Amino acid sequence: MRDVVFTRQGWFPAVVRCENGLCIELAAGADANHDPRVFRFPVDEVRAAVIEADLRRHLLLWSAVLPLCGDAGSQGDLDVEAAVALLDPTLLGTPDEVDALFRGIRWDWRLLMAHGGDIDLLDDGKVWAALSEATVTPDRRRVEEYEVNRRRAQRGVTLAPLDTAILRFTGQYVHGATLPKRLPDEVDPELLPDVLRVIATAERATTGMRIGLDPRHGRGVTDKAAWERVATVAEEAVRAAHPELADDAVATVRFLMCSEVRDRSKNLPEEDDAEGVGDRAGGPGGVRTARLTFTDDKEVAQPWAPGDSRTAGAAFWEFVASRSAPDNEVFTIEDEQLGEGLQLHFYADSVARITTVTRGEGASEPEYRVEYTLVDGLDGFRTRVRAFVDGGCAALDPHGPWTADLAELERARTRRREANS
Q: What is the pLDDT of residue 286?
A: 44
- Asked if residue 175 belongs to a domain, the reply is yes
Same domain, 259 and 296: no
Spatial CA neighbour of 323 closest among 224, 222, 215? 215
| 242-251: average pLDDT | 96
In the chain, how many domains are there? 3
Q: What is the pLDDT of residue 220?
A: 81
- As a dihedral over the C-alpha atoms of residue 162, residue 165, residue 170, residue 173, rounded to 10 degrees, the angle is 110
Final residue in a domain of this structure, among 243, 266, 289: 266
- Asked if residue 31 belongs to a domain, the reply is yes
Q: What is the pLDDT of residue 84?
A: 95
Torsional class of 283: left (φ above 0), alpha (ψ -120 to 50), beta (otherwise): left
pLDDT exceeds cutoff 90 at 276: no
Average model confidence (pLDDT) across the chain: 89
Same domain, 240 and 292: no
Reduced to 3 states (helix: H, G, I; strand: E, B; else coil), residue 137 is coil
Spatial CA neighbour of 350 closest among 402, 296, 419? 402
pLDDT exceeds cutoff 90 at 265: no
Q: At 363, is the pLDDT very low, low, confident or very high (cuts 50, 70, 90)?
A: low
| 75-97: average pLDDT | 94
| 375-396: average pLDDT | 92
**What whole-number percentage of the chain has pLDDT above 90?**
66
Q: What is the pLDDT of residue 218?
A: 84
Residues recorded for the chain: 421
Rounded Cα–Cα distance for residues 342 and 294 (Å): 10
pLDDT exceeds cutoff 70 at 360: no
Same domain, 13 and 136: yes
- Asked if residue 228 belongs to a domain, the reply is yes
Q: What is the pLDDT of residue 275?
A: 40
Final residue in a domain of this structure, among 141, 175, 208: 141
- Asked if residue 151 belongs to a domain, the reply is no
Q: At 281, is the pLDDT very low, low, confident or very high (cuts 50, 70, 90)?
A: very low
Same domain, 297 and 412: yes
Same domain, 38 and 128: yes
| 158-175: average pLDDT | 94
- Asked if residue 176 belongs to a domain, the reply is yes
Query: Is 291 or 287 the better-scoring residue by pLDDT?
Result: 291
Query: Is 247 or 364 the better-scoring residue by pLDDT?
Result: 247
Q: At 288, is the pLDDT very low, low, confident or very high (cuts 50, 70, 90)?
A: low
CA angle 154, 156, 159 (to 5 degrees): 110
CA atoms within 13 A of residue 269's CA, in its CB half-sphere = 11
Spatial CA neighbour of 120 closest among 157, 112, 55? 112
Same domain, 262 and 282: no
Terminal-to-terminal C-alpha distance of the chain: 72
Listed in sequence order, the residues at least 6 apart from 269 whose beta carbon sits closer than 8 Å to its beta carbon are 314
- Asked if residue 63 belongs to a domain, the reply is yes
- Asked if residue 229 belongs to a domain, the reply is yes
Same domain, 51 and 83: yes
- What pLDDT, in 10s, does the model give residues 118-140? 999 999 999 999 999 999 999 99
pLDDT exceeds cutoff 80 at 273: no
Final residue in a domain of this structure, among 266, 292, 323: 266
Same domain, 98 and 234: no
Pairing mode, if any, of strands 340-345 and 350-358?
antiparallel
Query: Is 91 or 19 the better-scoring residue by pLDDT?
Result: 91
Spatial CA neighbour of 374 closest among 397, 344, 354? 344
Same domain, 257 and 296: no
- Domain range enclosing 49: 3-141
Query: Is 186 or 19 the better-scoring residue by pLDDT?
Result: 186
Query: Is 19 or 415 the better-scoring residue by pLDDT?
Result: 415
Same domain, 256 and 286: no
Rounded Cα–Cα distance for residues 179 and 18 (Å): 48
- Asked if residue 369 belongs to a domain, the reply is yes
- What pLDDT, in 10s, does the model give residues 45-73? 999 999 999 999 999 999 999 999 989 88
Pairing mode, if any, of strands 21-30 and 14-18?
antiparallel
Which range in 25-34, 103-112, 269-278 is most confidently predicted, on average pLDDT?
Answer: 103-112
- Give the bridge partners for 213, in sequence order: 222
Same domain, 282 and 262: no
Same domain, 374 and 284: yes
Q: What is the pLDDT of residue 10?
A: 84
